[in-house]
Amino acid sequence: MSVDTLAPLVESVATLATQVRDDAAAIEQAGRLPEPLVGRLAELGVFRLAAPRSAGGLEADPLTLCTVVHDLARADGSVGWCAMIAAATSVTLGHLGERVAADLLADPGFLIAGVAAPLGRARPVDGGYRLTGRWAFASASRHATWLVLGAVLVDDTGPVTEPTGRPAVRHLVVPAAEVLSHDTWQVAGLRATGSDDVEARDLFVPADRSFSLFGPLPPRPGPLYAFPVFSYLSLGVGAAALGIARAAVDEIGRLARAKPVPGQGGTIAGRPAVRTAVARAEALLGSGTALLRATVAECWRTALAGDPVTLEQRARLRLAAANAAASAAAAVDLAYQAGGGTSVYASSPLQRHFRDVHVATQHAMVGPEIVELAGAVLLGQQVDTARL
């Protein structure tokens, strides 16, 4: 779907973000997103942003994903994160058959979340699989209608392996109502994302609701499904972190102009250290955002032209997402430090941005291992690139 067609969605999200910003403190205190807000995001189409258009999704380009996630995360980190998880995970419907995808999307409240890591076990049976396992970090699962869960294939002898020797992995789409939820999300930041543990106990999953993200690209036509799926998932993490950081830098700007310097007159905006911190934070945000969007745009042009995204391009995409998250955290740190003692109070948005962004950087999609892997590819080293 073209950027012009999606412009009303982006504008509606920007309008909604104003309300979300006003409610941010209450959202964190409640520890979950308000149901009316979840309903509004579903109504706008945020949760089906990357699902196939022919099945009822929007099939949006990755730059639109980045914009939507950034704007919501700027208003509230947890809201942006849940929107990112649902929007990005909806790309997996491109791996399902048309009828199955359409059935899932027929629900106006459709929201798919899950955990791609193969932490479960899937045993083949007639017509499908029996799924058992427990998955941590299931963000947005409290509001989800469906979950995608990764599992290793097993048989009577143990794990099944691919010809390469790697464990055979399947990703299975299950109704959220059929899994157990464990309230484990007692954490430092992103408190309202509801990233609980979820558990399946010998759950039957039909074969037509299974696929593998480690397999070949889906046969579905269109540039979005030729775009690297793990890169698509990681872009949202980087965009969410940048949105949180944008809010923190905005806040230190407001605070610097208003907070007086005791006994000296004027505000802390006159302090060289504060001025330097704001300038450095803006530079980090600008460079992180520019690299992310430029790299995404280049790879999207490749996909639009019908050409395969190269291994080097995939590495640069993952590197850009990881750099965005790291740059965002560094910018927030500068804003937090510049705020002085004011930053530590629960009433200060800076402490919430500080906690939120540092939880975001812990995500495996943007971790140090990905940076190292990207560097290995750029150096021409022989490494396992399945995660790219």
Correct CATH for 112-211 of 2.40.110.10, 1.10.240.10, 2.70.98.10, 2.60.40.420: 2.40.110.10
Ramachandran category for residue 130: left, alpha or beta (phi over 0 → left; psi -120 to 50 → alpha): beta
Q: What is the pLDDT averaged over residues 133-141? A: 98
The whole-number pLDDT of residue 3 equals 54
Question: DSSP per residue over 21-90, as a string?
Answer: HHHHHHHHHHTS--HHHHHHHHHHTGGGTTS-GGGT-----HHHHHHHHHHHHHH-HHHHHHHHHHHHHG
Average pLDDT of the chain is: 95
The whole-number pLDDT of residue 307 equals 94
> How does DSSP classify residue 267?
B
The whole-number pLDDT of residue 4 equals 61
Q: Of 309, 308, 312, 310, which is closest to residue 380 (Cα–Cα)?
A: 312
The first and second tokens of residue 311, run together, are 């291994």
Q: Are 86 and 111 in contact (CB under 8 A)?
A: yes
Residue ranges covered by each domain of the chain: 3-105, 112-211, 227-378
> How does DSSP classify residue 364?
G
As its CATH architecture, domain 227-378 has Up-down Bundle (1.20)
For 80-92, the pLDDT digits (tens) are 999 999 999 999 9
Percentage, residues of the chain above pLDDT 70: 99
Percentage, residues of the chain above pLDDT 90: 92
Strands (DSSP E) contained in the chain are: 112-125, 128-138, 146-155, 158-159, 169-175, 180-182, 196-206, 210-211
Q: How far apart are CA 9 and CA 65, in angstroms?
A: 11
Kind of pairing between the strands at 128-138 and 196-206: antiparallel
The whole-number pLDDT of residue 38 equals 98
Contacts of 230 (CB under 8 A, 6+ apart): 213, 318, 365, 387, 388
For 296-325, the pLDDT digits (tens) are 999 999 999 999 999 999 999 999 999 999
For 15-54, the pLDDT digits (tens) are 999 999 999 999 999 999 999 999 999 999 999 999 999 9
Measured in whole angstroms, how far is the alpha carbon of residue 40 from the centre of its chain? 19
For 361-378, the pLDDT digits (tens) are 999 999 999 999 999 999
If you classify domain 3-105 with CATH, what class do you get?
A: mainly alpha
In the block, residue with structure tokens 């830098």: 249
Q: What is the pLDDT averaged over residues 193-220? A: 92
pTM: 0.96
From the CB of residue 39, how many other CB atoms can be counted at a distance below 10 Å?
13
The reply to whether 3-105 and 112-211 are identical in fold is: no
> Which of 242-253 are b and which e, b meaning 16 or more Cβ less than 10 Å from the residue's Cβ?
bbbbbbbbebbb
Mean pLDDT is lowest, of 7-16, 25-34, 208-217, 343-352, for 208-217
Higher local confidence (pLDDT), 387 or 110: 110
- Amino acid 194 reads G
- Amino acid 300 reads W
CA dihedral 171, 168, 52, 288 (to 10 degrees): 90
The whole-number pLDDT of residue 375 equals 97
